[in-house]
């Protein structure tokens, strides 16, 4: 007769590495992996594009900070927010945790990523899909940002309190050439047109703050700044600094100055 299964026994029986899915996409082969990081005794989810790591559940501090910093800069209630890039879901979850969040639209290009959340292959999926404020939209964020109709296919021209973007590694390290024009002045102006007066554009970057890009934001928006986000890398035993850029559109008071 078998005895009770302890936590230690369950960990021992679970695979140390498992590829949960692998699919071709328009920008390359995408894979979802789950592994046990023995040095930390934690389960880690990773998404790879070809041989390149896109994201890991081991490092989520700056993705969470993107939502928290972006929404903390906004007054008011029932905020309407867009997140560009679903990924593992940490930015979207942090946005939903904000007490003033009213509606969240998450735009994701890659259908497999949405499917992984819907099937429960990723831990945050059930919570995101179970929240009536959250809606997932499959689409090209950069094409939608450049168009007049904007991000909501059900309400063309809808404007938002915040747009929070986490897709490319940085404004200079792109996953795909289709986003190149977005980071220039014309692309940023097109994005700003989808924000309400006083709305916030937040951008995640894997790199340290870039003065040139902050100045580019300041040339389009009423205010712009770069917020360093530093956290410990437990695998390398050293601190890592990434960046959240924040820019605000003009309000009536700004325009009257």
DSSP assigned state of 27: T
Crossing angle of helices 185-192 and 211-218, rounded to 10°: 50
In this structure, are residues 55 and 89 in contact, taking their beta carbons and an 8 Å threshold? no
Q: In the numeric block, which tokens belong to residue 236? A: 């390398």
**pLDDT of 206:** 95
pTM (whole model) above 0.95: no
CATH of 58-256, one of 3.40.50.150, 3.40.190.10, 3.40.50.970, 3.40.50.2300: 3.40.50.150
- Check residue 7 and give its pLDDT: 39
pLDDT at residue 79 in the model? 98
| Contact (CB, 8 A) for 64 and 90 | yes
Backbone phi and psi for residue 116, each to the nearest 5 degrees, phi listed first? -60, -40
Residue 21 CB contacts under 8 Å (≥ 6 apart), including other chains = 31, 32, 112, 116, 121
pLDDT at 5: 40
Taking only the tens place, the pLDDT of each residue in 125-167 is: 999 999 999 999 999 999 999 999 999 999 999 999 999 999 9
Q: What is the DSSP letter of 86?
A: -
Cα gap 161→166, rounded to integer Å: 17
Compute φ and ψ for 242, nearest 5 degrees.
Answer: -115, -175
Q: Could you tell me where in the chain the CATH 3.40.50.150 domains are found?
A: 58-256
- pLDDT reported for residue 255: 59
- Interstrand relation of 42-49 and 28-37 (parallel, antiparallel or unpaired): antiparallel
pLDDT value for 102? 98
64 vs 169: CA distance, rounded Å: 16
- Contact (CB, 8 A) for 229 and 239: no
- SS3 call for 211: helix
pLDDT of 51: 86
Residue ranges of the chain with per-residue pLDDT less than 70: 1-14, 253-257
Going from the C-alpha of 106 to that of each of 60, 101, 145, 167, the distances in angstroms are 17, 13, 13, 12
Structure token digits, residue 123:
């831990």
Residue owning tokens 């938002």: 160
pLDDT recorded at residue 233: 81
């Amino acid at each position: 007769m078998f005895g009770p299964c302890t936590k230690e026994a369950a960990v021992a029986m679970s695979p140390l590495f498992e590829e949960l899915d692998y699919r071709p996409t328009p920008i390359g082969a995408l894979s979802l992996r789950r592994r046990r990081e023995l040095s930390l005794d934690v389960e880690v989810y990773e998404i790879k594009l070809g041989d390149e790591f896109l994201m890991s559940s081991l490092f989520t501090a700056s993705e969470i900070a993107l939502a928290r910093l972006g929404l903390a800069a906004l007054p008011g209630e029932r905020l309407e927010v867009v997140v560009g890039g679903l990924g593992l879901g940490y930015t979207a979850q942090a946005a939903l945790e904000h007490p003033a969040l009213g509606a969240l639209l998450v735009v994701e290009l890659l259908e497999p990523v949405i499917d992984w959340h819907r099937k429960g292959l990723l831990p945050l999926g059930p919570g995101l899909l179970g929240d009536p404020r959250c809606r997932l939209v499959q689409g090209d964020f950069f094409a939608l940002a450049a168009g007049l109709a904007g991000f909501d296919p059900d309400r063309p021209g809808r404007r938002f309190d915040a747009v929070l973007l986490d897709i490319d590694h940085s404004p200079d390290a792109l996953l795909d050439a289709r986003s190149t024009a977005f980071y220039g002045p014309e692309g940023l102006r097109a994005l700003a047109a989808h924000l309400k007066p006083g709305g916030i554009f937040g951008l995640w970057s894997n790199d340290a703050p870039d003065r040139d890009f902050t100045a580019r934001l300041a040339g389009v928006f009423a205010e712009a700044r770069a917020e360093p986000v530093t956290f410990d890398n437990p695998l390398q035993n050293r601190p890592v600094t990434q960046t959240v850029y924040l820019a605000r559109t003009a309000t009536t008071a700004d325009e009257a100055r």
